[in-house]
Structure 1
Amino acid sequence: MRLKTFTPDEPALPMNYPGFVLRSLREDGYPASALLTNTGLNEKQLEDPHFRCGFQPLRRFFLNAIAHTNDPHLGAHLALKFDPAYVGLPSYTAMNAACFQDGLEVLEQFFFLTFPAFDFSLVDSCCGPETGEMAIRLRSKFPFREIEYFGFSSALVAINGLLKAMLRSDQVATRAETTVKQPDGWSDVAQKLGFAVRFEASENRLLFPKDLLTQPLPGSDPINHAQLLVLCAQFAAGVSQVTTPVAQVMALLEGSESLSVQISEVAEELGYSERGLRRQLDRCGTSFRTLLDQAREQRARALLSGTSQPIKSITSILGFESSSNFARSFKRWTGLTPKAFRDQAHVREASGRK
């Protein structure tokens, strides 16, 4: 049975975070009328727990907020003030779990109730200079474009705040990785976060010590936890675990042994016609070719930095006809040749072990 899907134009996004942004900026003296210019939204809608809207009005709202505050790092700055309680039912349920891993699994299952634009996954950090780590991997379910830095910096910082609240600890995340380029003025932000950030990575991830998984949660309450899980399941059934065509395609590509797949194969696997899938991806502001390139880049980065496989073998896995074609594409994505990227990754790994 195909999951219910939505596109960026459909009213699927709740007001938990936009409402917080509006409240925070109003308190700082910024008029709501200016922040909501050309969004088609009003203040009451951003305070309505039942209101949903599409992505474009919120994109305009966040761009307005960045422009009026003249703060390119607004996402991270606001997220430092974000109360984990604003996440709502998923956060309460996670905090009542028996141990940290149980709480994270609640978030993995129900994070979309509050933040349907993100895919939240708990993954083992199997490569890189650090050992004994777990990671929360975040993926956008459609392209964020101009607000990518705002969106992912907000999410990574806010989630770290939620993890600290779950454990009642001052430190949880040890580092983060993001696909965006390092913005100007980052050093002023970095010192406020409590964890290091690596830019231009293959994924958006928040990493923490694996041994925290078994740590009991101070707020553990089996009675309330059981009741809240039922409520989460009821709400989830009401929205049919919404996903997007972009998320569906990326999940299928990620699970493919070889990335030489054609759009016709992907469409058939997902239950679309080829034309129908192209149309759905176009409505999401992207294309199959763009997503295939994204999947290839992510896998290339992981294989080059985390394995010793020959570049020729990686070329075949990624679905390129020749190493030269792969090298041209990889340089377009990263500005480096595959060999230079691997050498750079080895240098980072060596420095991380010192």
Structure 2
Amino acid sequence: MTIDTKASPALTLQYLSRFLIEFCKENGIPIEKALENTNINSSSIASIPRTSEVWQDIKLIENIIKTAPHIMLGVEIGRSARISSFGCLGYAMMTAPTLGEAFELAEKHPALMGEHFIFKIEKKGRTAYLTTSSSDAPLTIRNTLTDMSFFTFIAICRDMLGFQPDLEGIYFTHTPSPVAQEQYKINLNAMAEFGAVESAIVFKSDLLEHPLPLANTLCHAEMRSLCQQQENELSPGREWFDKFTALLGSSLKNPLDVEQLAVQMHCSSRTLRRQLSSRSTSYRLVLDKLRFEKARDILSHTDSPIEVIAEELGFSDRTAFSRAFKRWCGLPPQAYRP
């Protein structure tokens, strides 16, 4: 049995940005430091949408790690997770007959699981292995996302089972400081090893067959129906928009125009504009977002000259790019570099 819950990049765990900001307040981390280059103002925190942009969550996490490197952020996020964080999917999982069936349900609804909770459970005989995938994430936060996924898994298992799951062992590819290693072991209440080839949680496969105390056939059937309805509402539009975004992002130096994209999307330019408008966006806004994300990545991880970045992103010169970048995040590109 293999369960893979790779999620849509358009969705995130509910209220993650708000949680991160509240976490900063509780731990004395300056809010302005955490919000740098996120396009979120301290005055508009209360209006952050439930499903914030993935890049905003990533930047928040990067800022918090940089400002407070001593805090085990992924551990704290994961420990604070609850099965209710996943909305109607969480309720459907709680009322499933067994733990394994709960996670099989999660596999069927990737759009409802969330971008930051990506995992795979593989059953081999009497042993089960949970691994997590964060290879697409920036190197600076991969370990944090692994921690978050592992501790979230443990937390929601505890919520569904009513007791702490018995684990055979937990393996991490990274090697934290000796003090941090002790904290991991205390928080995990299980054997933890570091410097492993692959990060994984190992447990007896029998756990997947364990009946859930809140199992309820009628409620489970109703919530499964609601989950499918939400998935159906999200998936078609997401697939269309993902295709559109991929086509537009395939060449930012010489991006396709609306008419060319309409041909590729097998629709008229009018229909394409209407589809984008229904998502409260436009060709220009999506192009700006793609260019901004690419610019952030290049600025954060390379020493490429501003002129080269400008050309790669399809700007006429450095000045035009710098003006656009400042419009996007309030800073000139050279000030964004770490």
Give me the CA root mean square deviation.
3.6
The yes-or-no answer on 1:174 pairing with 2:173 is no
Aligned to 1:190: 185
Q: Distance in 1 between matches of 2:195 and 2:109?
A: 28
The yes-or-no answer on 1:30 pairing with 2:23 is no
Please give the residue correspondences for 1:119-158 in structure 2 after superposition, counting only pairs within 5 Å.
119-125=118-124, 132-140=126-134, 142-158=136-152
Are the aligned partners of 2:34 and 2:63 in contact in 1 as well (CA < 8 Å)?
yes
What is the deviation of 1:143?
3.0
What is the deviation of 1:150?
0.8
Q: Once the two structures are superposed, what CA deviation does each residue of 1:196-230 show, in whole Å capped at 9, x if it has no partner?
A: 23334444332222112222100111122111112
Are the aligned partners of 1:135 and 1:208 in contact in 2 as well (CA < 8 Å)?
yes
Q: Once the two structures are superposed, what CA deviation does each residue of 1:209-256 show, in whole Å capped at 9, x if it has no partner?
A: 2112222100111122111112221222233286999xxxxxxxxxxx
Are the aligned partners of 2:12 and 2:115 in contact in 1 as well (CA < 8 Å)?
yes
Aligned to 2:217: 222
Please give the residue correspondences for 1:33-72 in structure 2 after superposition, counting only pairs within 5 Å.
33-42=32-41, 44=44, 48-55=48-55, 57-72=56-71
Q: Distance in 1 between matches of 2:191 and 2:108?
A: 27
Are the aligned partners of 1:143 and 1:285 in contact in 2 as well (CA < 8 Å)?
no
Q: Once the two structures are superposed, what CA deviation does each residue of 1:300-342 show, in whole Å capped at 9, x if it has no partner?
A: xxxxxxxxxxxxxxxxxxxxxxxxxxxxxxxxxxxxxxxxxxx
What is the deviation of 1:171?
3.0
Per the alignment, in what secondary structure is the counterpart of residue 109 of structure 2?
helix
Per the alignment, in what secondary structure is the counterpart of residue 80 of structure 1?
helix
Letter of the structure 2 residue corresponding to residue 41 of structure 1: I
Q: Once the two structures are superposed, what CA deviation does each residue of 1:109-145 show, in whole Å capped at 9, x if it has no partner?
A: 235424225543221146xxxxx22122321362331
Letter of the structure 2 residue corresponding to residue 213 of structure 1: L
> How many percent identity over aligned positions?
19
Q: Distance in 2 between matches of 1:51 and 1:192?
A: 28
What is the deviation of 1:94?
0.7
Match of 1:210 among 186, 202, 205: 205
Which structure has the larger Rg over C-alpha atoms? 2
Are the aligned partners of 1:144 and 1:151 in contact in 2 as well (CA < 8 Å)?
no
Are the aligned partners of 1:90 and 1:111 in contact in 2 as well (CA < 8 Å)?
no
Letter of the structure 2 residue corresponding to residue 69 of structure 1: A
Aligned residues: 241
Which runs of 5 or more structure 1 residues have no equivalent in the other structure?
127-131, 246-281, 287-354
Aligned to 1:275: none
Aligned to 2:272: none
Are the aligned partners of 1:100 and 1:213 in contact in 2 as well (CA < 8 Å)?
yes
Per the alignment, in what secondary structure is the counterpart of residue 207 of structure 1?
strand
**Cα 1:85–1:117, aligned 2, differ >3 Å: closer, same or farther?**
closer
Are the aligned partners of 1:160 and 1:173 in contact in 2 as well (CA < 8 Å)?
no
**Cα 1:51–1:212, aligned 2, differ >3 Å: closer, same or farther?**
closer
**Cα 1:200–1:91, aligned 2, differ >3 Å: closer, same or farther?**
farther
Which runs of 5 or more structure 2 residues have no equivalent in the other structure?
1-5, 244-292, 299-338
Are the aligned partners of 1:108 and 1:122 in contact in 2 as well (CA < 8 Å)?
no
Are the aligned partners of 1:134 and 1:210 in contact in 2 as well (CA < 8 Å)?
yes
Q: Distance in 2 between matches of 1:211 and 1:154?
A: 24
Letter of the structure 1 residue corresponding to residue 22 of structure 2: R
Are the aligned partners of 1:95 and 1:217 in contact in 2 as well (CA < 8 Å)?
yes
Aligned to 2:154: 160
TM-score, scaled relative to structure 2: 0.60
Q: Distance in 2 between matches of 1:200 and 1:239?
A: 39
Q: Distance in 1 between matches of 2:108 and 2:132?
A: 13
Letter of the structure 2 residue corresponding to residue 192 of structure 1: N
**Which deviates more, 216-225 or 22-31?**
22-31
Per the alignment, in what secondary structure is the counterpart of residue 140 of structure 1?
coil
